[in-house]
Amino acid sequence: QVRLVESGGGSVQAGGSLRLSCVASRETKSVLYTGWFRQAPGKEREGVAAIYREGETTNYSDSVKGRFTISRDSAKSTTYLQMNDLKPEDSGIYYCAAYYNEGWFRGPFFTSSYDYWGQGTQVTVSS
């Protein structure tokens, strides 16, 4: 079992920045993919960023490309999501997820791809 704990959420004004962290209870060197997803009230959970291993590949949704950056520090078992130029539509609960090759990987932005999930951290962006 792997426990993921997110932190760094909060309330900011549009144009502001936040950095989310996701700490894993198990070393991340064996993680193949870590993803960040978000869910707004009444909407489905959507993938916003994903990283393969130590950053050999990164993926971003069109809505965050150029504003968000995902990175990983394996020494700290932590994956980060730097969010700049935040917009009100970025508001929601942000979840990190990890894929340790324990099932079929459909793709970085499919929730079914991931083996483990955190509890989420709230991000609120006001206009």
CA distance 70 to 83: 9
Number of H helices, E strands in the chain: 0, 11
Instruction: Say what the pLDDT of residue 54 is.
Output: 87
Q: Which residue has the higher pLDDT, 104 or 79?
A: 79
**Residues 37, 111: contact at Cβ < 8 Å?**
yes
Contact between 124 and 91 (Cβ < 8 Å)? yes
Per-chain mean pLDDT for the chain: 94
> Using an 8 Å Cβ cutoff, are 48 and 60 in contact?
yes
Are 64 and 48 contacting, i.e. CB atoms less than 8 angstroms apart? yes
Task: Give the DSSP letter string of 41-101.
Answer: TTS--EEEEEEETTTTEEEE-TTTTTTEEEEEEGGGTEEEEEE-S--GGG-EEEEEEEE-S
Return the higher-pLDDT residue of 30 and 92.
92
pLDDT at 28 over 90: no
Most confident of 11-15, 27-31, 105-109: 11-15
What pLDDT shows up at residue 114? Answer: 94
For the cut 80, the answer to whether the pLDDT of residue 64 exceeds it is yes
